Amino acid sequence: MYLEGGAEQVVRGGFYRWFGPALEAVMECVLARALAYVARQRRDLPGWLGRHVKDWVIVDSSTVRLDDRLIEEYPGAGDYAALKVHKHFSVGIGTTIAYHLSPAREHDSPHLSVDASWKGLGLLADLGYASVRLLRDCETHDMRYVIRLKESWKPKVQSISRGTLTRRFAKGSDLDLLLAHETLLLDGKVIDALVHIGEQEGIASRLVGVPGPKGYCFYLTNLPNAVGPRQIADLYRVRWEIESDNKLDKSCLNLDAIGARTGPAVRALVHASIVGSVIIGLLAHHHRRRETRPKKAGMERTVAPIHPQTLARAVGCAASSIAAAMQLKGAAATQRWDELARYLVHMGRDPNWRARPSILDQLRGWKISPGRARGAKTASIVSLAAN
């Protein structure tokens, strides 16, 4: 495309020199502008999700394998080079709002610290970031959190408001002992208890247990009792949104195909991938906010929502047309952008929305009936034709 546009030919060495500190600085500037634009967007939190927080922020890391020449700068967990992208993902906007890089060998926990800027936000974090220090900081800065219970943590149960108890127990008993002695039964009912986490007095937290296909899942949270245990389990499922965003980065925006051999080139390409996913997330967010909303819970959704990965592929196919549209002005520009918008909406819809509806779509109040199998549809058409 570079040569097709009539640009001057360049030798391979000269081309590689472009991917140096200067390009890294440019991409850092582009990234800063993109994230500043994201910060100004209005959040879209369905139902009760926005009742106790300004926004929910999901924190997770994604590992990117690099050329082994970079092993000293970015050592991986083994004898290879790799870096981690530590991302903060906004549920209310549907895209990355901050991130930083680290060598993949480093543990996740030190790379998440919360301060006064987090006040009023909610946190959904992977177990790799969970620590007693993090829970204490959330309390200090007036944050809400929902995390899975670590196996190494030994919660001291203070009281139980929901769950089947067979006998009285001493305040401060280990949760594991209550379960082992069947003082507290795992009988398919939800569990809601006040516990202390950590040594001595510990951090007061709410522990909820929800039965699932593979047994009970236990979560720690400081949300009020008005948010029930099953709602908390649904909220934690929202954490999957960042996994989908990581897949968007790697499968559609080349984050998993970085062959650069220098630090500045690697970082420039990582910034480019993240900026690309931010643009896709914003397009999906703007379209979602303009959709017809369910007037009451349980309304049937009849039109497929936009899916970021499908949308990203459509944007990739139209990249040259989008670049050309940027050169237009006036009525011609308006007409062309409207045509591109219709194309992106049409091609960007989720083909699997009935079979695998997103948890956020469900929390927005949409009822989504599973579609019939192709064979059933064909049989129905044949039957109608015969009649």
pTM (two decimals): 0.90
- For 196, the 3-state DSSP assignment is strand
Model pLDDT, residue 385: 56
- For residues 236 and 126, is the Cβ–Cβ distance under 8 A? no
CA distance 190 to 206: 13
Q: What is the β-pairing status of strands 156-162 and 366-367?
A: unpaired
Q: Could you please report the per-residue DSSP string of 22-58? A: HHHHHHHHHHHHHHHHHHTSPP---GGGGSS-S-EEE
Place of tokens 């520009």: 333
Model pLDDT, residue 383: 59
Closest to 149 (Cα-Cα) out of 207, 226, 233 = 207
CA distance 361 to 368: 9
Model pLDDT, residue 368: 83
Reported for 211-216, long-range contacts at CB under 8 A and 24+ positions apart, including other chains, are 211/186, 215/186, 216/186, 216/191
Handedness of CA 165, 170, 171, 176 (dihedral sign): negative
Q: CA–CA distance from 210 to each of 31, 150, 155, 176 (Å)?
A: 40, 15, 16, 16
* Tens-level pLDDT at each residue, the chain (387 residues): 777 778 888 888 888 888 899 999 999 999 999 999 999 999 999 888 999 999 999 999 999 999 999 999 999 999 999 999 999 999 999 999 999 999 999 999 999 999 999 999 999 998 999 999 999 999 999 999 999 999 889 999 999 999 999 999 999 999 999 999 999 999 999 999 999 998 766 899 999 999 999 999 999 999 999 999 999 999 999 999 999 999 999 999 999 999 999 999 999 999 999 999 999 999 999 999 988 778 777 788 888 999 999 999 999 999 999 999 999 999 999 999 999 999 999 999 999 988 888 888 888 888 888 865 555 555 554 555 565
